[in-house]
Amino acid sequence: MDTTSTTRPAATGIDGLIREHGAALLSYATRLTGDRYLAEDIVQETWLRAWRHRDRLANGNGSVRGWLLRVTHNVAVDQHRSRKARPTEVAFESEELANRAVQCAPSDEVESRMVVDELLGHLSPAHRSAVVEVYVTDRTTASAATALGVPIGTVKSRLHHAIRSLRGRFRPMLEAA
């Protein structure tokens, strides 16, 4: 006679699976990674995949725990590979620096605005309005075309010519600096 069914209720739904297998998955992921917080992320992704493949977890389709452990292993390997594929993150030396927002000096902002205003002053009014609508007010070319009352192609053409003109004017300014 099987006594496990009387001492522990059968897993019902994802909540039951989490209660039944959660600790084992977290322990396994922690052993794989050596990092409790990373292991928690891995287990969370495992539960998300389990939710997406609920049909795979139905009785009669093999070992549920085995499938969950395999998914946990695969997620851990995927995360390890993705960390190896991107550059190493640099840690801040002090907590104060880590929580500080980077902010330009007000004088830099004023100087930048003066340079932009000077460059925009060299554009024709039509080209200037296209640049301002798209880059300063952060509109799409379609919404800029509506605001300016011109076709989208006209806005794109004006932007193209304005940027070419600005590049031509900006290069000498950089070389002089």
Give buried/exposed letters for 141-177 (b at 16+ CB in 10 A, else e): beebbeebebeeebbeebbeebbebbeeeeeeeeeee
Contact 159, 131 (CB under 8 A): yes
As a whole number of angstroms, the longest Cα–Cα distance in the chain is 91
Domain layout of the chain by residue ranges: 4-89, 106-176
pLDDT tens-place string over residues 99-132: 666 677 778 788 888 888 888 888 999 999 999 9
pLDDT of residue 11 exceeding 50, the answer is no
Name the pTM for this structure: 0.43
Are 4-89 and 106-176 equal in CATH topology?
no
Contact 26, 43 (CB under 8 A): yes
pLDDT of residue 83 exceeding 70, the answer is yes
CA neighbours closer than 13 Å in the CB half-sphere of residue 36: 1
Residue 153: the pLDDT is 94
pLDDT of residue 140 exceeding 80, the answer is yes
pLDDT of residue 6 exceeding 50, the answer is no
pLDDT of residue 59 exceeding 90, the answer is no
Class of domain 4-89 (CATH, top level): mainly alpha
Predicted confidence band at 168 (pLDDT cuts at 50, 70, 90)?
Answer: confident
Q: Token pair of 40, please?
A: 């928690």
Q: What is the mean pLDDT of the chain?
A: 81
Is the domain spanning 106-176 CATH 1.10.10.10? The answer is yes
